Amino acid sequence: MKKMEKTKDGTGLTECTGSSDFISEFIKEDLKSGRFSCVHTRFPPEPNGWLHIGHCKAFFVDFSMAERFGGTCNLRFDDTNPEKEDISYVEAIKRDVKWMGYDWEDREYYASDYYDYLYDLAVKIIKKGHAYVDDLSEDAISEYRGTAVADKHNITETPPGKNSPWRDRSVEENLDLFARMRAGEFADGAKTLRAKIDMTDPNLLLRDPVMYRIRRETHYRTGNTWCIYPMYDFQHPLSDAKEGITHSLCSMEYEIHRPLYEWFIREAEVFPSRQIEFARLNMTHTVLSKRWLLKLVQEQYVSGWDDPRMPTIAGLRRRGYTPEAIRDFISQVGIAKTDSMVDIAFLEYCLRQDLNKRSPRVMVALHPLKLIIENWEVDRVEELEAVNNPEDPAAGTRTIYFSRELWIEQDDFAEAPPPKYFRLFPGNSVRLRYGYIVTCTGFDKDPSTGEIIAVRGTYDRETKGGNAPDNRKVKSTIHWVSATHGVPIEVRVYDYLFGAERPMDVPVGGTFLDNLNHHSLEVIPTAYAEPCLAQALPGDRFQFERLGYFVRDPDMDSAVEGKARTKPVFNKTVGLRDTWAKIEQKSAQEGKK
Ligand code: ATP
Ligand code: MG
């Protein structure tokens, strides 16, 4: 596992190995050589799904590179595929980029606004004799293009493809046919416009790629104005050029497309945008592809794009993640060319670091069990002072109430304690946080079910708030909530959506869905919380002492099946146990061996 190091300037723009980040180096060279006089980047999401944490890496790189070099970054919707795109995705993307703290100001663009410009450039390339209208079907085009084959030594080769019989049409004929494609004279799929490059190029993408196809689909912005749509490899470089993008930063899978990117820029004679690729973010227990996330949503394996188990920005927000923690994570992962798999425990570590500083502490009995203090008067209530956040003295203190009947955690009591169990069992004493030392005197069972329904104990009045006369020591401090004052809340506890570390690794015939963890959501209908939680606003975050970090669900409305919800819902964000620290410790030990 790589050691994550924070970069000096906090941007994370240095590869975690410590070497200088390669994108900045390219940009510096370009500025020095005069290739570009400024830096202008773009984040180009396709509005066909909600953004996930992988996209955070992409826009982090786009925005921070622009910022680092005093430039600007556009938000451009790469919306030239009418089948899957929708305005609701545009809205979701804008909301999530903003929530992450990035601002594109008035630089909001749509590739679909460039249809006329792109059409004119296609005509220009036809006029140069470098594009032609083809009558081959899309299947025949693939067949003519050929595929890579492995020889007996398992070395892959790409035998040359075959020219289309329509490749040598005259410029005039091509111009006429292309205009008629646009006018809707031909059926869907009947013709395509192709770049005339080289059907023998070892890079299959350069074997006369399709520039336009006929699709009678209603586009969410342009409606039925167009029945021909430009392909990604043609429109993307030219959209970059239109906006004067100097550095078009994208993930590694586009590396093989780069010669094509450059070909279109050259042939169209437009602004010479430069494409630079970096490694995608991959994370354990997670799938990061809109296609797979959409499947989870459509087939209702999750409640929606913003389900708190989803790696989408909206899911992470509902789960209680902060933009600061996500940015810190992305920045520490750094930018590299080689793909790596980041342990999700590292993301959780970054989150804990942030939540520890900012979350007020409260006490909640998640799985409540009654504790009756037998020597406490029935109506007596005592006010105790509790610290809101030991990490932040400015957060002050609050009043909590101690009474005869309290809620404690079910697993803080054991009828027959296992070895090294130091919490409550008959005869044993514990400290109640901020309160008294209590000694267990017995317990009540439901006679019909045998279930333990209450624990009994006595308190020692000399031990209030940490006092320990006679140097008395107890081995445990447990949390509690006054049963008279506690407020009921609903709590949702989450586990990874995928049990497997690499959900996409499946045997032949399987799918990533086989790796779904069917126990990734536990709903606790009634937990008891300190009264202050009744005032928590949606999105407020807390540390429930000894249990973890929780957030008041920001989106859950107060109605359940038409009835008013009586209990606020809290989502468990992350536990307190730091598995990343353990992983690091283990790898350090292994390093010493
Ligand atoms: P997905 O695989 O999730 O469908 P995509 O590449 O099709 O992703 P786009 O909306 O086209 O989705 O992506 C916008 C930008 O985000 C692109 O520049 C793409 O390179 C980048 N990107 C997508 N996924 C990741 C990732 N996991 N890590 C880094 N960058 C990513
Ligand atoms: Mg894409």
- Which residue's CA is the closest to the ligand 1 atom numbered 1? 289
Mapped onto helix, strand or coil, the DSSP state of residue 130 is: coil
Atom of ligand 1 nearest to the CA of 45: 10
Pick from 4-18, 69-83, 454-468 the range whose average pLDDT is largest.
Answer: 69-83
Residues 297-354: pLDDT tens digits? 999 999 999 999 999 999 999 999 999 999 999 999 999 998 889 999 999 999 999 9
Report how far residue 454's alpha carbon sits from residue 368's, in angstroms, rounded to the nearest whole number.
10
Residue nearest to atom 26 of ligand 1 (CA): 54
Backbone torsion region of residue 434, taken as left when φ is above 0, otherwise alpha when ψ lies between -120 and 50, otherwise beta: left
pLDDT (0 to 100) of residue 38: 97
From the CA of 51, which ligand is nearest? Answer: 1
Tokens representing 546 are: 């000894």
For 184-231, what is each residue's pLDDT tens digit?
A: 999 999 999 999 999 999 999 999 999 999 999 999 999 999 999 999
Ligand number, closest to the Cα atom of 245: 1
Strand partners, 365: 528
Catalytic residue among 274, 290, 492, 552: 290
Residues 391 and 357 sit within 8 Å (Cβ to Cβ)? yes
Q: How far apart are CA 293 and CA 395, in angstroms?
A: 39
Ligand 2 mean position, distance from CA 46 (Å) = 6
| CA distance to 57, 491, 519, 527, per residue, from 523 (Å) | 32, 6, 11, 10
Report yes or no: 361 and 542 within 8 Å, Cβ to Cβ. yes
**In 300-319, which positions are buried (b, 16+ CB within 10 angstroms) versus exposed (e)?**
ebbeebbbbbbbbbbbbbbb
Residue 425: C-alpha distances to residues 364, 414, 453 (Å): 21, 5, 14
Determine the distance from the C-alpha atom of residue 519 to the mean position of all C-alpha atoms in its chain, rounded to a whole number. 20
Strands of 541-544's sheet, edge to edge?
361-362, 541-544, 548-552, 569-574, 487-494, 521-529, 364-365
CA 253–ligand 1 middle distance (angstroms):
10
Nearest alpha carbon, ligand 1 atom 23: 55
Which of the residue ranges 120-124, 381-385, 467-471, 523-527 would you say has the lowest mean pLDDT? Answer: 467-471
CATH number, domain 17-278: 3.40.50.620
Q: Which of 280, 295, 398, 567 is catalytic?
A: 280
| Cα(299) to centroid(ligand 1), Å | 22
Instruction: Give the pLDDT of residue 560.
Output: 53
Mean pLDDT over each residue of the chain, to the nearest integer: 93
Ramachandran assignment for 45, one of left (phi > 0), alpha (psi -120 to 50 degrees), beta (any other): beta
Q: What is the whole-number distance in angstroms between the Cα of residue 546 and the centre of ligand 1?
A: 38
HSE-CB at 337 with a 13 A cutoff on CA atoms is 8
**pTM to 2 decimal places:** 0.92
**Residue 249: pLDDT above 90?**
yes
pLDDT digits (tens, 9 = 90+) for 472-500: 889 999 999 999 999 999 999 999 999 99
- Render the burial of 347-357: b for 16+ CB within 10 Å, e for the rest: bbbbbbebbee
Q: Ligand 1: which atom is nearest the Cα of residue 253?
A: 20
CATH 2.40.240.10 for domain 364-479, yes or no, is yes
What is the atom index within ligand 1 of the atom nearest the CA of 289? 3
CA–centroid distance, 573 to ligand 1, in Å, is: 25
**pLDDT attached to residue 407:** 98
CA distances from 189 to 66, 213, 227, 373, 468 (A): 41, 7, 11, 79, 84
In 3-state terms, what secondary structure has residue 77?
Answer: strand
Is the CATH code 2.40.240.10 the one for domain 290-360+490-583? yes
Instruction: Decide if 331 contacts 6 (C-beta within 8 A).
Output: yes
Each domain of the chain, given as residue ranges in start order, spans 17-278, 290-360+490-583, 364-479
Residue 281 CA to ligand 1 centre (angstroms): 9
Measured in Å, residue 54 CA sits from the centre of ligand 1 at: 7
Phi, psi of 468 (to 5 degrees): -140, 85
Of the candidates 68, 69, 62, the one whose C-alpha atom is nearest the C-alpha of residue 103 is 62
Domains 17-278 and 364-479 share a fold: no
Which residue, judged by its Cα, is nearest atom 2 of ligand 1? 289
7 pLDDT more than 60:
no
- Cα separation, 338 vs 333, in Å, equals 12
Atom number of ligand 1 nearest to Cα 52: 3
Closest residue CA from atom 16 of ligand 1: 55
- Going by their DSSP bridges, the two strands 368-373 and 452-460 should be labelled as parallel
The verdict on whether 46 is a catalytic residue reads yes
Residue 484 token pair: 């008279």
Contact predicate 16/2, CB 8 Å = yes
Q: Atom 25 (ligand 1): residue with closest C-alpha?
A: 54
Atom of ligand 1 nearest to the CA of 58: 30
Tokens of 285: 């227990």
CA of 405 to the centre of ligand 2 (A): 58
Residue 480 amino acid letter: W
Q: List, chain by chain if needed, residues with CB within 6 Å of any ligand 1 atom.
A: 44-46, 54-55, 57-58, 78, 250-251, 280-281, 288-291
Residue owning tokens 């070892």: 202
The predicted-structure confidence for 135-184, as pLDDT tens digits, reads as follows 999 999 999 999 988 877 878 888 999 999 999 999 999 999 999 999 99
Between 574 and 582, the more confident residue is 574
Q: Give percent of the chain above pLDDT 70.
A: 94
Q: How far apart are CA 118 and CA 426, in angstroms?
A: 80
The whole-angstrom separation of Cα 81 and Cα 199 is 26
Question: Which ligand 1 atom minimizes the distance to the CA of 291?
Answer: 4
Residue nearest (by alpha carbon) to ligand 1 atom 9: 45
| pLDDT tens by residue, 376-404 | 999 999 999 999 999 999 999 999 999 99
Distance CA 408, CA 478 (A): 8
- CB distance 100 to 207 below 8 Å: no
Q: Please choose from 42, 48, 53, 55 the residue to mutate so as to test ligand 1's pocket, defined by most ligand atoms within 8 A of CB.
A: 55
Which protein residue's CA is at the shortest distance from atom 22 of ligand 1? 55
Residue of 79, 251, 333, 341 with the most ligand 1 atoms within 8 Å of its CB, for mutation: 251
Q: Which residue has the tokens 């439901």?
A: 446
- Using the mean position of ligand 2's atoms as its centre, give its distance from the Cα of residue 79 in Å: 10
Cβ atoms < 10 Å from Cβ of 129:
12
What residues form DSSP beta bridges with 563?
A: 560
Give me the pLDDT at residue 17, please.
32
For ligand 1, what atom is nearest to the CA of residue 254? Answer: 20
Identity of the residue numbered 135:
D
Grouping H, G, I as helix, E, B as strand and the rest as coil, residue 262 is helix
**What one-character DSSP code corresponds to residue 44?**
-
Band of residue 593 on the pLDDT scale cut at 50, 70, 90 = low
**Angle at CA of residue 375, ends 369 and 381, nearest 5°:** 75
Contact 427, 455 (CB under 8 A): no
Is the predicted pLDDT of residue 554 greater than 90, yes or no?
Answer: no
Give residue 400's identity as a one-letter amino acid code.
I
**Rounded to an integer, what distance in angstroms lies between the CA atom of residue 438 and that of residue 413?**
12
Residue with CA closest to ligand 1 atom 27: 54
Q: Report yes or no: 88 and 96 within 8 Å, Cβ to Cβ.
A: no
Which residues lie across from 281 on neighbouring strands? 340
3-state SS assignment for residue 229? strand
Which pLDDT belongs to residue 16? 36
Residues sharing a CB contact under 8 Å with residue 39, sequence separation 6 or more, in sequence order: 27, 31, 65, 66, 69, 70, 71, 246, 247
Of 189, 191, 188, nearest to 178 (Cα)? 191
SS (H, E, C) 162-219: CCCCCCCCCHHHHHHHHHHHHHCCCCCCCCEEEECCCCCCCCHHHCCCEEEEECCCCE
Q: pLDDT tens-digit profile of 268-277? A: 999 999 999 9
Lowest mean pLDDT among 38-52, 115-129, 332-346: 332-346
On whether the CB atoms of residues 51 and 91 are closer than 8 A, the answer is: no
Q: Which of 2, 5, 6, 46 is catalytic?
A: 46
